[in-house]
């Protein structure tokens, strides 16, 4: 296979041993697949063909065992290549989503297996996606409010039965902008909302108010789902000086075995994820409730591998190989049937 990873620049990766994308690329190399990297800014059209200025990782006689050494010893070359010539386009770009990038991918989505799908990323790239799961009694999703109306947001806080709520920008990522607000400290809420409504991450002026889930101070659970099924999980624990549990915000990790309720949650949302073409997804769960769905570049594999002594990237690349073989078999079948009609 030839795989194009649509991601951040290869040379900008500072900690390859902790990078999920590097683990995928390393596994592809070990299997002899060709790998190219392209950033969203390097998509282009040449002679009406959607292409990309790609960084191609040169083949190695011996692939280093460690991710750090693999990244250090790899050499690259630059070349413009047509996207339809790849077997797989693997979305690993960091949020927020660039809608123009999806417009480029629209032209090749029928020729290449894209993970995750263009349509899936369009509908699920922000925190509103959890609303697609039918949960009228809020059994798996915390009570959530989204608005740009400051008066409504203040009234919602005042009427909430909970003393605490979570406030965050609609298009934030990596824990950016997530804060805990309390009714007993409402003196700054006006200026705080003014700031969020005018300066929200990604240029959006919508914000989210979400019920505070008891137990959130102990952290959350990151679950990775492949084709709608959980393949790994870890508990993320907040640091001493931050309520956020994201590793990028200073959180730490620990082992976690999915509870019966968490497994049931995955069973509920899994079919919808697959239907939307969201084959590799990270979900964040607090006290057995779904908080976020991460579809662009969910991470955590390297941490899970260390904690559980496993190699989750193997399952992901196995899935890519299966989908490409399935896609190619479909092409060959249609080719033979069309030839049969032509010969009639």
Nearest alpha carbon to residue 220 among 137, 128, 290: 290
Nearest alpha carbon to residue 297 among 86, 90, 14, 108: 90
User: What is the three-class DSSP state of 324?
Assistant: helix
Query: What pTM was computed for the model?
Result: 0.90
Give me the residue label for tokens 């951040």: 8
- Beta 220-226 vs 88-91: how paired, if at all? unpaired
Token pair for 288: 């057995």
Give me the residue label for tokens 């509103």: 128
Cβ atoms of residues 226 and 177 within 8 Å: no
DSSP letter for each residue of 217-250: GG-EEEEEEETTEEEEEEEEE--TT-S---GGGT
Per-residue pLDDT of the chain (344 residues; tens, 9 = 90+): 999 999 999 999 999 999 999 999 999 999 999 999 999 999 999 999 999 999 999 999 999 999 999 999 999 999 999 999 999 999 999 988 899 999 999 999 999 999 999 999 999 987 889 988 888 888 999 999 999 999 999 999 999 888 899 998 877 676 778 888 988 888 888 888 888 887 644 445 788 999 899 888 888 999 999 999 999 999 999 866 555 555 554 578 899 999 999 999 999 999 999 999 999 999 999 999 999 999 999 999 999 999 999 999 999 999 999 999 999 999 999 999 999 999 99
Q: What is residue 43's predicted lDDT score, i.e. its pLDDT?
A: 97
Give me the residue label for tokens 């005042």: 158
* Domains contained in the chain, CATH given: 2-115 (3.40.50.20), 143-211 (3.30.1490.20), 216-310 (3.30.470.20)
Q: What is residue 202's predicted lDDT score, i.e. its pLDDT?
A: 46
């Amino acid at each position: 296979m030839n795989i194009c990873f649509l991601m951040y620049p290869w040379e900008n990766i500072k900690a390859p041993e902790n990078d999920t994308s590097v683990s995928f690329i390393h596994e592809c190399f070990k299997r002899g697949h060709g790998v190219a990297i392209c950033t969203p800014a390097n998509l282009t059209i040449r002679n009406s063909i959607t292409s990309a200025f790609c960084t191609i990782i040169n083949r190695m006689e011996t692939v280093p065992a460690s991710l750090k050494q693999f990244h250090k010893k790899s050499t690259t070359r630059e070349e413009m290549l047509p996207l339809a010539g790849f077997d797989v386009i693997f979305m690993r770009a960091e949020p927020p989503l660039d809608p123009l990038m999806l417009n480029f991918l629209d032209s090749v989505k029928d020729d290449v297996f894209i993970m995750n799908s263009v349509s899936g990323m369009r509908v699920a790239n922000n925190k509103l996606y959890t609303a697609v799961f039918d949960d009228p009694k809020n059994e798996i999703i915390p009570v959530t409010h989204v608005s740009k109306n400051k008066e409504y947001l203040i009234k919602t806080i005042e009427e909430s039965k909970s003393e605490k709520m979570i406030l965050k920008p609609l298009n934030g990522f990596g824990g950016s902008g997530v804060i805990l607000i309390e009714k007993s400290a409402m003196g700054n809420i006006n200026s705080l909302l003014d700031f969020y409504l005018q300066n929200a991450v990604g240029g959006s002026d919508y914000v989210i108010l979400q019920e505070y889930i008891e137990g959130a101070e102990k952290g959350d659970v990151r679950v990775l789902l492949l084709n709608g099924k959980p393949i790994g999980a870890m508990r993320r624990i907040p640091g001493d000086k931050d309520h956020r549990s994201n590793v990028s915000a200073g959180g730490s990790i620990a082992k976690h075995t999915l509870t019966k309720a968490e497994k049931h949650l995955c069973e509920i949302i899994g079919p919808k994820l697959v239907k939307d073409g969201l084959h590799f997804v990270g979900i964040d769960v607090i006290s057995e409730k779904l908080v976020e769905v991460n579809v662009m570049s969910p991470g955590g594999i390297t941490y899970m591998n260390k904690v559980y002594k496993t190699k989750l990237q193997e399952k992901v690349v196995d899935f890519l190989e299966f989908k490409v073989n399935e896609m190619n078999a479909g092409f060959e079948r249609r080719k033979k049937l069309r030839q049969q009609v032509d010969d009639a």
